[in-house]
Chains A and B, each alone.
Chain A
Amino acid sequence: MTIMDSTLGVAGPSPYKSRRDWLNAFGVIEILMGGAFLLFAIVILWAAGATMPSNAISPPARMVGTALLYGLLAAVFVAGGIGSMLCKNWARIVMLAVSSLWLGFGLMVALILAFIVPAITQQRHGNFPAEGQHAMMVIIFTLVAALGVLLPAIFLFFYSRKSVRATCLAQDAAQFSTPEGGGIAASGLPVPLVILGVWQALGVLSLLTSSMRADPVFGVVLRGMAAFLVVLARAVLDGYAAWAIFRQQLIG
């Protein structure tokens, strides 16, 4: 099955195959992953409540922050999955941004683990046998490689294919076609700007969920309220940068 070429406004057959079925399949996987993230968020909130000291007013801020992060990931993956099943171009762009960042983080974690694993396997942990430790480290590294590198690489490969882009653009053009018979190509925000904006937005989240008790600024370790205000100011600046990027405003 081929699709009509909507990117050039030409009503001829596109050289690309329709990837509707694959978009459906990837959409289902994303929704399942979103469900898993939501489950993590619920479990973390439940654990935060269960382990809270009886005299505490609220659960630890860090656990709430982590639960919020998982909740946000759940929302992104479920939205991306639904959009993907509907062959929406915005969903393709969102998943491109998400999988690029996911792959970047995964590669970094894998690199760091590659240095940590030998050090940990050299240590003896109680009566745990060395072979068992080695096997556990191999399992952890395999999981990180599979979930942090291979999976996002597959997502990135799929969503960056020209046939997937053509399928999504054809769907958008069919939906937004005008009575005159014309169609609009889903222009939207360029993918690099989406990635940059998501990166800045994640920066806000990471700052707000970080420990605000101490922060080194130009070599001076700030503590207490000063550290809190500096971290908050950085979060506001990151948020402003993300907002400007999404509005395609170049400032400075």
Chain B
Amino acid sequence: MISGVVTYFRHPDLVQLGREMGYSAQRLRIFEQSPHLLPALWVAVIVVMTAFLVFLLYARRFFPTEEQACPSVPKGQ
């Protein structure tokens, strides 16, 4: 995710980045012809990534704690 953000700041022109990565002109034409598509994709990516991060933090509680994973003998026994 951090790599993606750094890449965006170093290559703000994503169509040019696509060309450098070897995507065909036909595939990139759709982005040039509809200027609203890239911002929409960015919004979708940010929404998905935020949702994933929130879900990741939520799912953390379902992992067993250290005590549950390796129950030790209670003190005094």
Contacts and interface: CB of A to CB of B under 8 A. Distances in A.
Contact of A219 (B9, B33, B37, B55): B9
A93 to B, nearest CB: 13
A221 B17 contact: yes
- Mostly, the B contact residues are helix
A112 B44 contact: yes
Interface in A204-252: 211, 213-219, 221, 248-250
Interface in A112-136: 112, 115-116, 118-120, 123
A111 interface: yes
A219 B58 contact: no
Nearest to A118: B34
A215 B10 CA distance: 14
B60 A250 contact: yes
Contact of A119 (B7, B33, B58, B62): B33
A115 B17 contact: no
Given A192-B58, A221-B17, A115 B37 contact: yes
Interface residues of A, number: 28
A196 interface: yes
Interface string B43-77: 01000100110011011101110000000000000
Given A216-B11, A216-B21, A196 B55 contact: yes
Nearest to A214: B21
Contacts of B63: 193, 248-250
Contacts of B64: 248, 250
23 contacts: A104-B51, A108-B48, A111-B40, A112-B37, A112-B44, A115-B34, A116-B34, A119-B30, A119-B33, A119-B34, A123-B33, A192-B58, A192-B59, A196-B59, A214-B20, A214-B21, A214-B22, A217-B3, A218-B3, A218-B6, A219-B10, A221-B20, A250-B63
Interface centre among A111, A195, A250 (most CB of B within 10 A): A250
Contacts of B20: 214, 221
